[in-house]
C-alpha cells in the first residue's frame, strides 16, 4: 500500500523524533552522495575475468560483475597469463566482497615466484572492487594508515664503468630519491680474468641481455636462450680476492657520488657459495649498506642465518616467497634482517599485510619489492600505508616517462621527489586511463571477453579427500 512517503521522507519523519535539525534534507542528500547506490553488495557476482597485456608487468586483470562495477589487479612481471585465466572457473559466480573466502578458494593454485602472480593479481582486483562498492580506500579496510606518503627506492641501470653508474645514481639523488639500490654481482666481473673461479664449462647462471635492454623498459624479460643454473651452493663458483676488490671499488664510486647520508642497498649477486657471500659481506661493511639482497635462495633458512650471523651488513630476501608461512619461518629464525615481499607474489594485499604484522612480532622490518605497473604500485602503497613496520617500496620504472600515464585520479607525477602519496579514492584509489593503457599494450586486445576460458567440467579441487 502507498503510504504517501518514500525513503527520504520516512527518514526525515523518523529523525524528527530525535531532532529534525540533524536529519535536514541537505544532510540526507550529503549522506546519499557517499553511498554506491548502483551496487547492492550482497547481490554482487563476478561475471568475467579479462586481461590487457601491457608492456610493463604480467598484464592487467579486470574482474567484471553483474552490476557494472569492476576491479583492477595485475599479474606478476614475467608471469604467464594462464596463471590468471585458469582461475576463471573458480571466480565466476562468486561475490567479490567476500575477499578472504575467495582467496582461500584460489590460493592453492599459486606458488612461489611468478607462479603466484595470478592468485595475487586477482586478490588485488577483489580489494579494488570491494573498495569501490563500499566507497572506501583499501588502506582503510586494512585498519587505517600509519603514513600519508610512501618512500620509494629506485633500481638504477647498471654499467660496466663504475663512474658512469655512479653518475646515474647521483641523478637519482638530484631527483629527490632518499633510498637507492644497485646491482653488484658476478655478471659485472664474469669476463674479467682472475675475478671468479669455477669449473670449466659449468653453467654459472650469468644472463647477458640484448644490447640496449634495461629492466622496466620492456616489461617481461627478453625471450631467447637463458641459463637455468643449479642452486647457488652447487655451481662450484667462488669469488677471488680480485673479484671482491672489483665489486668493492664499484660501491666505493657509488658512495663517493651520493655520500653516506642516504641508504644504499645491493642486489643480484650471482650464483656463488655461502663462503663467498660471507667474504663479500665483510668487504662491503665499510659502505654502510642498508641491505644485501638474495645472497642465496630464500629456502635455505639455516644457510641464510649462517651468512647473517657472520656479517655486519643487513641481509634481505622475500620477493619470490608465496604466502606468509615462509616469511614467518625466516623471521622466527632471524635468518635475515629484513623481509621483502612482492605483493604480486606473496599472496596479495591482505596476505602481505599479515606478513608485515607477523614479522613485526619478531622485530623484523618489511620492505616491498615491486617491478610492475602503477596498478601493483598502488596496491603496494595501500599495504605500506597500513603496515607499521614498513620501510620502503621499490620501483623498477623510474626511467620510463609514460609509466604513470595509465592511472588517473591520483597525484601526478605518481612518484614525486621519491615518494608516492597514498590516494584517498575508493578501492585502489585510481581510475584507468583507457587510451594510455592501449598505447602500452604489447599485444592487441583491451579487456576482451574470455569465453575460451569457460570451463563447465566438474573438477574436484579440494585439498583433502
Length of the chain: 465
| Kind and range of the H or E run holding 416 | none
One CATH from 3.40.720.10, 1.10.10.10, 3.20.20.120, 3.40.50.2000 for 149-428: 3.20.20.120
> Does the predicted TM-score (pTM) go above 0.75?
yes
Q: What share of the chain is helix, strand, coil (3-state, %, to 5)?
A: 40, 15, 50
- Asked if 427 and 97 touch (Cβ cutoff 8 Å), the reply is no
For the chain, the farthest-separated pair of C-alpha atoms sits apart, in whole angstroms, at: 93
Could you read off the pLDDT tens digit of each residue along the chain, which spans 465 residues? 344 434 444 444 444 444 444 445 555 455 445 555 556 899 999 999 999 999 999 999 999 999 999 999 999 999 999 999 999 999 999 999 999 999 999 999 999 999 999 999 999 999 999 999 999 999 999 999 999 999 999 888 777 787 888 888 889 999 999 999 999 989 889 889 999 999 988 877 775 554 554 444 444 444 444 555 577 888 899 999 999 999 999 999 999 999 999 999 999 999 999 999 999 999 999 999 999 999 999 999 999 999 999 999 999 999 999 999 999 999 999 999 999 999 999 999 999 999 999 999 999 999 999 999 999 999 999 999 999 999 999 998 999 999 999 999 999 999 999 999 999 999 999 999 999 999 999 999 999 999 999 976 767 787 777
Per the listing, cell 669469488 goes with 239
**What sign does the dihedral 165-167-170-172 (CA atoms) show?**
negative
Q: How far is residue 18's CA from residue 5's CA, in Å, rounded to a whole number?
A: 19
Rg, the chain, Cα only = 25
Q: What is the DSSP letter of 269?
A: -
Q: How far is residue 294's CA from residue 296's CA, in Å, rounded to a whole number?
A: 5
State the CB neighbour count (10 A cutoff) for residue 258: 18
CATH 3.30.390.10, domain 41-137+446-453, yes or no: yes
Q: How far is residue 121's CA from residue 62's CA, in Å, rounded to a whole number?
A: 9
- Asked if 60 and 52 touch (Cβ cutoff 8 Å), the reply is yes
Q: Which three cell numbers stand for residue 376?
A: 601493483
Decide: helix, strand or coil at residue 287: helix
- Domain ranges within the chain, ordered by starting residue: 41-137+446-453, 149-428
The pLDDT assigned to 4 comes to 41
Q: How far is residue 436's CA from residue 431's CA, in Å, rounded to a whole number?
A: 12
* Sequence-distant contacts of 243-247: CB under 8 A, at least 24 apart: 243/186, 243/189, 243/192, 243/194, 243/195, 243/196, 244/279, 244/280, 244/283, 245/283, 246/188, 246/189, 246/192, 246/195, 247/184, 247/185, 247/188, 247/189, 247/280, 247/283, 247/284
| CA 384 centroid distance within chain | 10
Q: Which three cell numbers stand for residue 104?
A: 582461500
Amino acid at each position: 500500500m502507498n503510504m504517501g512517503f518514500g525513503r527520504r521522507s520516512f527518514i526525515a519523519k523518523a529523525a524528527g523524533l530525535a531532532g529534525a535539525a540533524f536529519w535536514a534534507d541537505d544532510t540526507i542528500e550529503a549522506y546519499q552522495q557517499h553511498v554506491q547506490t548502483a551496487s547492492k553488495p550482497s547481490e554482487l557476482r563476478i561475471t568475467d575475468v579479462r586481461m590487457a597485456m601491457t608492456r610493463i608487468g604480467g598484464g592487467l586483470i579486470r574482474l567484471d560483475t553483474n552490476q557494472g562495477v569492476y576491479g583492477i589487479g595485475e599479474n606478476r612481471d614475467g608471469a604467464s597469463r594462464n596463471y590468471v585465466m585458469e582461475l576463471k572457473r573458480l571466480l565466476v559466480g562468486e561475490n567479490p566482497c567476500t575477499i578472504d573466502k575467495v582467496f582461500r578458494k584460489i590460493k592453492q593454485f599459486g606458488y612461489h615466484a611468478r607462479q603466484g602472480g595470478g592468485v595475487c593479481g586477482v586478490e588485488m582486483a577483489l580489494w579494488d572492487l570491494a573498495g569501490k562498492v563500499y566507497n572506501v580506500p583499501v588502506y582503510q579496510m586494512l585498519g587505517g594508515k600509519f603514513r600519508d606518503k610512501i618512500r620509494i627506492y629506485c633500481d638504477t641501470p647498471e654499467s660496466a664503468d663504475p663512474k658512469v653508474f655512479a653518475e646515474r645514481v647521483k641523478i637519482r639523488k638530484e631527483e629527490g630519491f632518499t633510498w637507492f639500490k644497485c646491482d653488484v654481482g658476478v655478471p659485472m666481473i664474469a669476463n674479467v680474468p682472475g675475478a671468479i673461479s669455477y669449473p670449466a664449462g659449468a653453467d654459472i647462471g650469468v644472463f647477458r641481455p640484448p644490447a640496449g635492454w634495461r629492466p622496466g623498459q620492456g616489461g617481461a624479460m627478453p625471450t631467447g636462450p637463458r641459463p637455468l643454473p643449479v642452486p647457488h651452493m652447487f655451481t662450484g663458483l667462488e669469488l677471488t680476492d680480485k673479484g671482491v676488490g672489483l665489486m668493492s671499488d664499484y660501491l666505493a664510486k657509488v658512495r663517493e657520488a651520493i655520500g653516506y647520508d642516504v641508504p644504499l642497498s645491493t642486489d643480484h649477486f650471482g650464483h656463488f657459495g655461502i663462503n663467498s657471500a660471507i667474504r663479500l659481506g665483510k668487504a662491503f661493511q665499510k659502505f654502510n649498506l642498508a641491505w644485501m639482497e638474495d645472497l642465496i635462495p630464500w629456502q635455505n633458512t639455516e644457510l641464510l642465518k649462517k651468512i647473517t650471523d657472520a656479517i655486519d651488513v643487513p641481509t634481505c630476501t622475500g620477493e619470490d616467497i608465496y604466502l606468509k608461512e615462509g616469511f614467518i619461518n625466516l623471521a622466527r629464525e632471524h635468518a635475515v634482517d629484513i623481509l621483502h615481499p612482492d605483493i604480486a607474489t606473496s599472496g596479495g594485499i591482505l596476505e602481505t599485510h599479515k606478513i608485515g604484522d607477523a614479522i613485526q612480532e619478531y622485530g623484523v622490518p618489511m620492505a616491498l619489492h615491486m617491478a610492475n605497473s602503477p596498478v601493483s604500485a598502488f596496491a603496494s602503497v595501500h599495504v605500506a600505508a597500513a603496515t607499521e613496520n614498513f620501510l620502503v617500496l621499490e620501483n623498477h620504472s623510474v626511467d620510463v616517462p609514460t609509466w604513470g600515464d595509465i592511472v588517473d585520479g591520483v597525484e601526478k607525477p605518481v612518484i614525486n621527489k621519491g615518494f608516492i602519496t597514498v590516494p584517498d579514492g575508493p578501492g585502489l584509489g585510481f581510475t584507468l586511463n583507457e587510451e594510455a593503457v592501449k598505447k602500452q599494450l604489447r599485444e592487441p586486445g583491451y579487456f576482451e571477453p574470455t569465453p575460451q576460458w569457460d570451463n563447465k567440467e566438474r573438477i574436484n579441487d579440494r585439498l583433502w579427500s
